[in-house]
Amino acid sequence: MAVLVTGGAGYIGSHMCWLLEEAGEDLLVIDDFSTGFQWALPDSAKVYEGDVGDQELLAQIFKENDVDAVIHFAGSIIVPESVENPLKYYLNNTAKSRSLIEACVTAGVDKFIFSSTAAVYGDPEVVPVDENAPLKPLSPYGTSKLMTELMLSDVSNAHNFRYTALRYFNVAGADPKGRTGQSTKNATHLIKVACEAALGKRGHLGIFGTDFDTPDGTGLRDYIHVWDLASAHYLALKRLRTGAGSIVMNAGYSDGYSVRQVIDAVKAVSGVDFEVREEPRRAGDSPKVVAQNTRILAELDWKPEYNNLPKIVEHALNWEKKLSLRNSL
Ligand code: UDP
């Protein structure tokens, strides 16, 4: 029995692959390598290069292998790009997910884990936000993911098909063993950008807004270590294997850190006092997005190992250094 990871060569997907390999699972990957890297994958992965919306390829994968479950990471993830090009997001995140789900139903693959996002809440009224909060995405990215959640719910009511949707908060850090990390170019996420500034890969770091209604005026986020996130997926898979029903869960630590706190952590861990500039707010940014995580803790017996901002930063920084070496070869 194998687990099929879509987008397995990407940032979160590649961590999932290493974790599954360590757990002794048979591993299949489908990836179009548009943003992922073959070198990020363990050698044991059987890789299909192609499109996750290609039903012929999916049918072939399901025919050639005994697939127990699908973990679906493939998709587009840049919020501002989704505003400029919404149809790309409704194609990559919604329409192609529909094709994948249909291929699963046709092939009788009955367990599915989906990468959803805290962006489905938009600007939450109550923080920490729980899973029953109103779903009001502020971008086509958030809407494209929410539409897939809704499809999953309907399909699980109609067919022999159970799913878990994990709503990710701010994913950061890298494999503690240094095998993979966030490698896509032109990163916009705070911890990655701050690590690049610390290593001199960019001249300065901008703080997007210092006048929010938060303790120090900068945005508050719930940063979750990518390895803990991968382990939550594996526990979610094990839960579905027990026959448990479909569920939606927040994936975060329930701790909020401000932009200034993150910058202080990156400066402390790196020992570099890089330049920081206060800039205007970025369009669409919420002041506070922090998870209520009681459901995932209870349902999965999830015990995060890296709920520690300096550790997250240390791993991100180590990976950033490795990436510099790799890119200079
Ligand atoms: N942020 C910032 N400067 C940057 C990147 C991000 O001040 O160069 C802030 C952003 O406004 C937000 C927080 O850092 O308050 C996290 O942003 P990120 O883009 O990492 O994730 P998001 O929460 O938008 O998904």
Angle (deg, nearest 10), helices 309-328 and 190-198? 60
Output the residue whose Cα is nearest ligand 1's atom 24: 285
Position 214 confidence tier, pLDDT thresholds 50, 70, 90: very high
- pLDDT for the residue 254: 98
pLDDT at 328 over 80: no
Its pTM stands at 0.97
Provide the CATH topology of domain 190-221+254-296+305-328. UDP-galactose 4-epimerase; domain 1 (3.90.25)
- pLDDT for the residue 285: 87
Q: Which string of DSSP letters, residue by residue, matches 119-174?
A: GGG-S-SSSSB-TTS----SSHHHHHHHHHHHHHHHHHHHSS-EEEEEEE-EEE--
Q: Which two tokens stand for residue 204?
A: 């300065």
Nearest atom, ligand 1, residue 193 CA: 8
- pLDDT for the residue 284: 79
> What are 135-179's pLDDT values in tens digits?
999 999 999 999 999 999 999 999 999 999 999 999 999 999 999
Query: Would you please indicate which residues are annotated as catalytic (active-site) residues?
Result: 141
| Ligand 1 centroid, distance to 286 Cα (angstroms) | 10
CATH architecture of 2-171+224-251: 3-Layer(aba) Sandwich (3.40)
Length of the chain: 329
- pLDDT for the residue 329: 60
> Closest Cα partner for 112 from 61, 54, 73?
73
pLDDT at 27 over 70: yes
Cα–Cα distance for residue pair 67/2, rounded to 1 Å: 5
Position 324 confidence tier, pLDDT thresholds 50, 70, 90: confident
Output the residue whose Cα is nearest ligand 1's atom 1: 190
Domain definitions of the chain by residue range: 2-171+224-251, 190-221+254-296+305-328
Tell me the mean pLDDT in the region 59-69. 98
Nearest atom, ligand 1, residue 212 CA: 15
Q: Evaluate: CB of 188 within 6 angstroms of ligand 1.
A: yes
Q: Which two tokens stand for residue 285?
A: 């940014």
Domain 2-171+224-251 identical in fold to domain 190-221+254-296+305-328 = no
> What are 276-308's pLDDT values in tens digits?
999 999 887 899 999 999 999 999 999 999 999
Position 187 confidence tier, pLDDT thresholds 50, 70, 90: confident
Cα–Cα distance for residue pair 45/8, rounded to 1 Å: 9
With pLDDT > 90 as the criterion, what percentage of the chain qualifies?
94
Cα–Cα distance for residue pair 257/309, rounded to 1 Å: 9
